[in-house]
Amino acid sequence: MNDSSIDHHHIWHPYSAMNSPFPVYEVESAEGVYLTLKDGRKLIDGMSSWWCMIHGYNHPTMNAAIESQLKKMSHVMFGGLTHEPAIKLTERLVKITPEPLEKVFYSDSGSVAVEVAMKIAIQYWHGKAQTDKHKFIALRSAYHGDTFAAMSVSDPETGMHSLFNDVLIKQIFIDQPGSRFGESCQQNDINQLESVLKNHGDDVAALIMEPIVQGAGGMWFYSADFLRQAKSLCEKYNVLLILDEIATGFGRTGKLFACEHANISPDIMCVGKALTGGYMTLAATLTTQEISDTIDQGEPGVFMHGPTFMANPLACTAACSSIDLLLSSDWENSIKQIEMQLSNGLEQCKEFQHVNDVRILGAIGVVEMKQAVNMKTITEKFVNAGVWIRPFGKLVYLMPPYTISAQELDTLIQALVLVLKEQQQ
């Protein structure tokens, strides 16, 4: 069998069937913002490989850091041992995340970071002898990952996991905030949250949200005022606040972390994706001294989780290098320039009859269609236009690397606009 045949017959790709008619494009190499396919075609990556390759591909500084670490050790178990890359990364994360987050637990993926956050919340209330507090409040249209606890706090009806509803833990959902980013919070949004907290506060461990940007659940940008008031209500009703910054962390929304738009800090925060600049799989869950002390003082006196590849040295090295690259760059201005160009370039999509909405925040540009797109045909059109844009459902969006040039971004935008314009004809 050749490579294509092996892939087709034996490899399951994300959210696909083994006999899927959707084309799969083999990548030979990647450099900067370009993917080079095996057939020689070059595509500008508008997805940052699912939002993580913020510095682009094959970055010489990150390559050198990983090569140096590889000569020392690629991995060592984290149980009873530690190492410099994990220590240095922890120092950076504690410094750049909102106070009072200062305790860091490492895991392998964003979904697991959410699982860890939920376990921390439950174990915290056990330490407080409030064992009835084990439920979670989540937003409709939320997406927090594909593992079972993460699925349970993702949208139970319109999300990707409705098939599993009968076996998932039943959580408490409130409506997606209706007020847009930049607007004051609508009172009915807050009233609903307060009503749920008032009625269920005694058995709720935490409210979990994606701050400001709901990602794979619909790319909705909601009011920072809602997030700010939600934090106050959690304090009022003695409920923890978990913020899932896996998609939004490390500058994507124009702030280093999206919760900074509301000037609040959560009790527990999850980060991943761009944490390593896309080089390695790594995630982290951060919490406070008070929460970790409570878990330590309760039964069994330790936090009950421990991944095999926790704090992998190569991944921690990549994360340190990525964070240093980001903070040493003029990243805020880069995001502003991307935001401005996305706003100007995608504006014309509002005139298309089959477009429902266009919204921009930071380095995120979203065109929401009135009907779901045909994934097979639209992806082929984008590839033929020299760009890699991977829509889902009704959403055609761009989340490019921060290092993209104005000319490259213009090519992405024009390809998106042209393909969507053709769709209505």
Residue with tokens 């760059």: 329
Q: How confident is the model at residue 23 (pLDDT cuts 50, 70, 90)?
A: confident
Mean pLDDT for the chain overall: 96
The backbone torsions φ and ψ at residue 351, rounded to the nearest 5 degrees and listed phi first, read -80, -15
| Other beta carbons within 10 Å of 353 | 6
Q: What is the pLDDT of residue 121?
A: 98
The residues near 177 (Cβ < 8 Å, ≥ 6 apart) are 139, 185, 186, 189, 222, 223, 226
Cross-strand partners of 347? none
Region 197-217 average pLDDT: 96
CA distance 192 to 222: 16
Q: Look up residue 122 and give its two tokens.
A: 């439950």
Whether 16 has a pLDDT exceeding 90, the answer reads no
Region 332-354 average pLDDT: 97
Q: What is the pLDDT of residue 2?
A: 76
Region 303-317 average pLDDT: 97
Whether 246 has a pLDDT exceeding 70, the answer reads yes
CA distance 342 to 363: 8
The residues near 165 (Cβ < 8 Å, ≥ 6 apart) are 156
Global model pTM greater than 0.95: yes
Whether 315 has a pLDDT exceeding 80, the answer reads yes
Q: Summarize pLDDT for 92-137 with one digit per residue, the tens.
A: 999 999 999 999 999 999 999 999 999 999 999 999 999 999 999 9
Residue with tokens 């002898």: 129
CA distance 332 to 141: 28
Choose the weakest-confidence range: 10-19, 40-49, 108-117, 187-196. Answer: 10-19
Percentage of residues of the chain with pLDDT beyond 70: 99
Cross-strand partners of 35? 30, 43
Region 202-231 average pLDDT: 97
**3-state SS class at 210:** coil
Note whether 213 and 256 are within 8 A (CB). Answer: no
Q: What is the pLDDT of residue 159?
A: 67
Q: Look up residue 254 and give its two tokens.
A: 């124009």
Residue with tokens 């008032």: 198
C-alpha dist (Å) from residue 416 to 134, 160, 349, 411, 420: 44, 25, 9, 9, 6
Choose the weakest-confidence range: 13-17, 206-210, 234-238, 348-352. Answer: 13-17
Q: What is the pLDDT of residue 21?
A: 67
Q: How confident is the model at residue 423 (pLDDT cuts 50, 70, 90)?
A: confident
Instruction: For 397-425, give one letter per residue: b (16+ CB within 10 A) or e.
Output: bbbbbbbbeeebbebbbebbbebbeebee
Fold of 3-58+331-423: Aspartate Aminotransferase, domain 1 (3.90.1150)
Query: Identity (one letter) of the amino acid at 301?
Result: G
CA distance 284 to 246: 9
Give me the active site residues, please.
15, 143, 244, 273
Q: What is the pLDDT of residue 8?
A: 84
Q: What is the pLDDT of residue 297?
A: 95
Q: Summarize pLDDT for 375-404 with one digit per residue, the tens.
A: 989 999 999 999 999 999 999 999 999 999
Region 150-170 average pLDDT: 86
Percentage of residues of the chain with pLDDT beyond 90: 90
Whether 424 has a pLDDT exceeding 90, the answer reads no
C-alpha dist (Å) from residue 216 to 56, 160, 253, 390: 21, 9, 15, 12
C-alpha dist (Å) from residue 342 to 143, 271, 362, 367: 24, 25, 9, 11
Q: What is the pLDDT of residue 417?
A: 98
Number of residues that make up the chain: 425
CA distance 77 to 62: 23
Whether 162 has a pLDDT exceeding 80, the answer reads no
Domain ranges of the chain: 3-58+331-423, 72-328
The domain defined by 72-328 carries CATH number 3.40.366.10: no
Residue with tokens 């005022």: 225
Q: What is the pLDDT of residue 235?
A: 98
Q: Summarize pLDDT for 24-71 with one digit per residue, the tens.
A: 999 999 999 999 999 999 999 999 999 999 999 999 999 999 999 999
Q: What is the pLDDT of residue 91?
A: 98
What is the gyration radius of the CA atoms in the chain, in angstroms?
22
CA distance 7 to 18: 9
Q: What is the pLDDT of residue 1?
A: 67
| One-character DSSP codes across 78-136 | -SS---HHHHHHHHHHHHHSPTTEEEEEEESSHHHHHHHHHHHHHHHHHHTT-TT--EE
Q: What is the pLDDT of residue 161?
A: 73
